[in-house]
């Protein structure tokens, strides 16, 4: 089955129909820049443009970089604060001609895709996906079932929000070497391991393409730690997976 997914990020909004039997995009994705400021109306317009690029009339799944409960966006750490308390599902549905939509946290979407089709496939017990990007996103699974909106990027580390201390954006901003960044990741992963004892940690986000530069520098954990496999497409595929439930209901 093909279902459409849209991944809304701080810099780009990208979408494509995803093939949910194979766990890959069914056609090349289309991307527009995230409007700045990223206020709801402007983002809905950008999403319309992405979906409109394809001949797609069915349900659409969308990721959002904040807490999402029953379609309402509750936080907005790295996007316009106008999203806080917005019924995003209703807004996107209206913007897309009244069709059914599903809205899911971006890291949760990426995790759903990795656990079904990628690095977490067939893994039991506690599996944690961490996305290292502008912020740090998290997706926690127990025997393949997601505990949504865990927000482990906002744990406090050395008196700071962890994502300010250890995200990929923080590394670029402060120009840390891979070694310097790895030491910060050691602190962060150590804390996460202490709290959740995952068996497997999957590292996602754009920087996971360069996993060979920093994973070998990390102090050993009890958890196995591996890079994501679906990389850039995980958000789109996970969003489409959420929307596929609507397709079944329709």
Binding site for ligand BGC (CB under 6 A): 65-67, 75, 77-78, 105-107, 131, 133, 135, 137, 151, 153, 163
| Shorter beta-carbon distance to ligand BGC: residue 65 or 118 | 65
CB of 154 to ligand BGC, least distance (A): 6
Both tokens assigned to 57? 């009339």
| Shorter beta-carbon distance to ligand BGC: residue 81 or 219 | 81
| Shorter beta-carbon distance to ligand BGC: residue 84 or 211 | 84
Q: What is the DSSP string of 100-113?
A: -EEEEEHHHHHHHH
Nearest residue relative to ligand BGC (C-beta):
135
**C-alpha separations of 206 from 130, 135, 136, 222, 228 in Å:** 12, 12, 12, 25, 10
CB of 55 to ligand BGC, least distance (A): 30
CB of 115 to ligand BGC, least distance (A): 16
CB of 229 to ligand BGC, least distance (A): 19
Contacts 24+ apart (CB under 8 A), 192-197: 192/128, 192/130, 192/152, 192/155, 193/221, 193/222, 193/223, 195/155, 196/126, 196/128, 196/140, 197/126, 197/222, 197/223
| Shorter beta-carbon distance to ligand BGC: residue 34 or 93 | 34
């Amino acid at each position: 089955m093909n279902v459409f997914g849209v991944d809304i990020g701080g810099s780009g909004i990208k979408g494509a129909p995803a093939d949910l039997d194979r766990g890959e995009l069914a056609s090349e994705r289309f991307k527009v820049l995230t409007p700045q400021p990223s206020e709801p109306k402007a983002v809905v317009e950008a999403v319309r443009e992405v979906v409109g690029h394809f001949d797609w009339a069915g349900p659409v799944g969308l990721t959002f970089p904040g807490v999402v409960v029953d379609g309402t966006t509750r936080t907005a750490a790295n996007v316009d604060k106008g999203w806080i308390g917005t019924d995003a599902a209703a807004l996107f549905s209206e913007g897309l001609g009244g069709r059914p939509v599903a809205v899911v946290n971006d890291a949760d979407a990426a995790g759903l895709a990795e656990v079904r089709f990628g690095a977490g496939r067939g893994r039991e017990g506690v599996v944690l996906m961490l996305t290292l990007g502008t912020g740090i996103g998290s997706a926690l699974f127990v025997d393949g079932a997601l505990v949504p909106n865990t927000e482990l990027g906002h744990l406090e580390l050395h008196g700071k929000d962890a994502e300010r201390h250890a995200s990929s954006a923080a590394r670029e901003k402060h120009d840390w070497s891979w070694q310097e960044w790895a030491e910060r990741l050691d602190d962060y992963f150590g804390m996460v391991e202490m709290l959740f004892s995952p068996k497997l940690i999957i590292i996602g986000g754009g920087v996971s393409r360069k996993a060979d530069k920093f994973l070998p520098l990390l102090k050993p954990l009890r958890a196995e730690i591996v890079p994501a496999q679906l990389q850039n497409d995980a958000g789109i595929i996970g969003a489409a997976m959420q929307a596929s439930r609507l397709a079944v209901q329709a």
